[in-house]
Amino acid sequence: MKMLAKKAMCNSHGQDSSYFLGWEEYEKNPYDQTKNPNGIIQMGLAENQLSNPDAASFKREGESIFRELALFQDYHGLPAFKNALVDFMSEIRGNKVTFNPNNLVLTAGATSANETLMFCLAEPGDAFLLPTPYYPGFDRDLKWRTGVEIVPIHCTSSNGFEITESALEEAYKQAHKLDLRVKGVLVTNPSNPLGTTLTLKELNLLVDFIQAKRIHLISDEIYSGTVFDSPSFISIMEVLKNRNLMNTEVWERIHIVYSLSKDLGLPGFRVGAIYSNDDMVVSAATKMSSFGLVSSQTQYLLSAMLSDKEFTQTYISENQKRLKQRHDMMVSGLLEAGISCLKSNASLFCWVDMRHLLSSNTFEAEMELWKDIVYNVGLNISPGSSCHCTEPGWFRVCFANMSEETLNLAIQRIKSFAEATIKTLIDNKSQQQSNKNSKRKSFTKWVFRLSFGRETSER
């Protein structure tokens, strides 16, 4: 027996998902315009490279404060940064809601924030309900170390993958059939991988549901600043405010996850946050944050950046403009190839419908198509099955992590592939029909001969 803990040997991390396997293939053969023009283009990474800002230096009033920032830090975080961050969060939401910096817990990215909330809200064996399709990394972030289970809320393309009351209730019943205690619902708003914002109807439905079940709601809003088209983004905090639910029991059971990775294009800075109105959650999460702190240097740089209101206003507007242009470029390019996307208004990717390119309506066919696109076309995209989509043939395709020239190349590759695939499918169908007709003719001849022979013998 190996002298390792069970956690070290368990395979619930999700690293063997096609979502992560696509990354591995990209890293083996990455596209480079000059050095490797035939390499794989990374379209599976939701990274924003369109509007990366420059940071300030480590100075205050002209004097270096590097030594001050290099010393031991309080894991509660720098007050200046927390104040700047909550102001930025309000600004993204059109200043319709405000946030108290005392209710904010800094974490090393949204990954850490979501896992920390699982540790605070649930025990091993408890469950959270998640609408499908959902971000593949949640299988790692929410489950791997916490022992918490995920029960899917099955959403379908028939209504644009919107959350319905019946889907919520069915997921809740399914959890109980599995002998799991449901501790809450987690949603991404805007959605990853759909690229859509939750409607007011959906948000009110979620609030009603957690009120009735007396459970928690986590709203992961890390893409809130990427909304580039109507309808506008509605934060769960705005819903609570408009329904006069502030300082009520449900107010304390709703928690927000945020990060600067997507809105500011700073995933390498590892800056995330938990916002909760429950003092006990804030206290416990703050203690846990000591295992994944945001460096003082990072906090100082970003507090200087976010405190510049002229910069933040210009940045948000310009970033959303660039995202819309890139999104429209992707959608129109795919349409020319006969490929449609779910209508979206946010994020760094499109939810692409390639069901017509499947050889059969199965997830096996989806994986065959995905492998063909990765290995033969040279594009790393994420298959819907990695996002737990219930319908084969959907793919998440990112557009903001590359230059315009590279995106144009990717679209050309998809066009050529789609044309060839459709031709092959049509040819195969024609051949199958021809084979059926041949069999039918053979059968008719056989019946005729049999009948003719019987008539002859009878005579």
Residue 34: what pLDDT? 87
Can 12-51+312-419 and 59-309 be said to share one CATH topology? no
Residue 31: what pLDDT? 87
Domain ranges in the chain are 12-51+312-419, 59-309
pLDDT band with cut points at 50, 70 and 90 for residue 289: confident
List, for residues 201-215, the tens digit of each pLDDT value. 999 999 999 999 999
Q: How much of the chain, in percent, has pLDDT values that exceed 70?
A: 83
109 pLDDT higher than 60: yes
What dotted CATH number matches 12-51+312-419? 3.90.1150.10
Q: What is the mean pLDDT of residues 420-430?
A: 78
56 pLDDT higher than 80: no
Q: What is the mean pLDDT of residues 366-378?
A: 95
Q: Most distant CA pair in the chain: distance in Å?
A: 118
HSE (CB half, 13 Å, CA atoms) of 445?
A: 6
**Cα–Cα distances in angstroms (integers) from residue 120 to residues 184, 218, 255, 273, 313, in the given order:** 12, 12, 11, 14, 35
Q: Which residue has the higher pLDDT, 115 or 21?
A: 115
Q: What is the mean pLDDT of residues 175-185?
A: 97
DSSP state of 32: B
Structure tokens at 314: 């210009």
Beta bridge partners of 149: 127
E runs forming strands in 86-214? 104-107, 127-131, 149-153, 182-188
Least trusted range by pLDDT, from 29-38, 156-165, 312-321, 394-403 = 29-38
Is the Cα torsion angle 427, 430, 436, 437 positive or negative in sign?
Answer: negative
59-309 folds as Aspartate Aminotransferase; domain 2 (3.40.640)
52 pLDDT higher than 90: no
Catalytic residue numbers, as ranges:
135, 220, 222, 262
Residue 89: burial class (beta carbons within 10 Å; 0-12, 13-18, 19+)? buried
Spatial CA neighbour of 287 closest among 122, 100, 106: 106
Is the Cα torsion angle 91, 93, 97, 102 positive or negative in sign?
Answer: negative
pLDDT band with cut points at 50, 70 and 90 for residue 8: very low
Residue 458: what pLDDT? 42
3-class SS at 170? helix
38 pLDDT higher than 90: no
Residue 22: what pLDDT? 78
Q: Which residue has the higher pLDDT, 289 or 233?
A: 233
As a whole number of angstroms, the distance between CA 144 and CA 141 comes to 7
Structure tokens at 223: 């893409």
**Cα–Cα distances in angstroms (integers) from residue 162 to residues 191, 201, 297, in the given order:** 10, 10, 41
Least trusted range by pLDDT, from 38-52, 176-190, 214-228, 372-386 = 38-52
| Pairs from 382-386 (Cβ < 8 Å, separation ≥ 24) | 382/18, 382/19, 382/22, 382/44, 382/136, 382/193, 383/18, 383/19, 384/133, 385/18, 386/17, 386/18, 386/19, 386/136
